[in-house]
Structure 1
Amino acid sequence: MSKIEDVNFKEKRFNTIITIVSIIVPVVVALLFRVKIPNVEPLSFLPPIYATINGVTAVFLIAAVIAIKNGKQKLHQNLMTTCIVFSLAFLVMYIAYHMTSESTAYGGEGIVKYIYLFILITHIILSIIIIPLVMKTYAKAYLKQYNAHRKLAKITFPIWLYVAVTGVIVYVMISPYYV
């Protein structure tokens, strides 16, 4: 197998994995969101932790862009890998919280409620869209397709940053209504 054939094979394999994960994760999250574990103490301490993880992810994303613009490729790679780990940790905690706790309704009124709902809905939609984007961007770097990686990263970065920042905003807006 030539080097080009090997890269094409790896890219096809990555694309298959990315497609499967991009479908399975939102479906599983939606299904688990409906599952409540009986007789378990609610994990009510988790929301501020996973909101903080979102905030730290946003900071690390910005630091990663600064690192690569300053030619620090290894630092950039480490920061981006850490952001992926943070996102996975967020997802596990988010699911665990919702499997042990009832959903909290937003109690604000008027225009603030519509702002909250807009932020929440765009956050949810983009958090689904970001899954394949992050994986595809990471795969391009892994395959050393740096031009394609840069092009895709210009799309992925602002969406991921928006998801991370709005995760914090949603938490701050709904936190007064937690029971």
Structure 2
Amino acid sequence: MSDQKKISEDKRYNKLIVVLSVTIPLAVAALFGIKIDYELPIFLPPIYACINAITALVLVLAFIAIRNKKVKLHERLMTFAIVLSVLFLLMYIAYHMTSDSTKFGGEGITKYFYYFVLITHILMSIAVIPFVLITYVRAITNNIEKHKKIAKITFPLWFYVAITGVVVYIMISPYY
């Protein structure tokens, strides 16, 4: 595929990437303001924390796969990581639309550490959306050189979001 055609393919997806990158965080914020009078079971937070942990593992396995030139395995793992992230997001929204937020009860340095991790997790989870989408589009449009360049940014961001999601859950779990 020529460079011009790859650029054209990428551009075809740009509007969708922008729309999703803006709509997803806004929708999540809006849905947090909606409370449904139905309480989901308390076991949901550990489930979506496990989904974050599995996502982190899948990302590492995908990285190893591509390093070993197992392209098909890498593709499947990355698609699975996206599915896991979407599943996490749906469960997270459902839980927070039906349950009150849990307040962190720690004190001192632990409290500051928790809020630092939580805030960076939230900000990076918003920032990673366009990176994941652009990286994925560059892969499916076979724009591999550009895919590799952005993947070097996307992987650590996404991995950080997945790991800190688990850390946030572990730190707040005693207060559920």
Paired residues for 1:1-179 under 5 Å: 6-38=5-37, 40-178=38-176
Q: Please report the RMSD computed on the Cα atoms of aligned residues, expressed in angstroms.
A: 1.3
Instruction: Write out the 4+ residue segments of structure 1 that deviate beyond 4 Å after TM superposition.
Output: 2-6
Deviation at 1:133, TM superposition (A): 0.2
Q: Distance in 2 between matches of 1:54 and 1:103?
A: 19
Alignment-mate amino acid for residue 92 of structure 1: L
Q: Distance in 2 between matches of 1:117 and 1:3?
A: 47
Q: Distance in 1 between matches of 2:22 and 2:62?
A: 27
Q: Distance in 2 between matches of 1:96 and 1:77?
A: 29
Alignment-mate amino acid for residue 129 of structure 1: A
Q: Percent identity?
A: 56
Aligned with 1:102: secondary structure?
A: coil
- What is the TM-score when the length of structure 2 is the normalising length? 0.96
Deviation at 1:5, TM superposition (A): 5.7
Deviation at 1:13, TM superposition (A): 2.0
- What is the TM-score when the length of structure 1 is the normalising length? 0.95
Q: Tell me the alpha carbon deviations over residues 62-97 of structure 1, each in whole angstroms, 9 at most, x when there is no partner.
A: 000000000100000000000000000000000000
Deviation at 1:4, TM superposition (A): 5.8
Unaligned runs of 5+ in 2: none
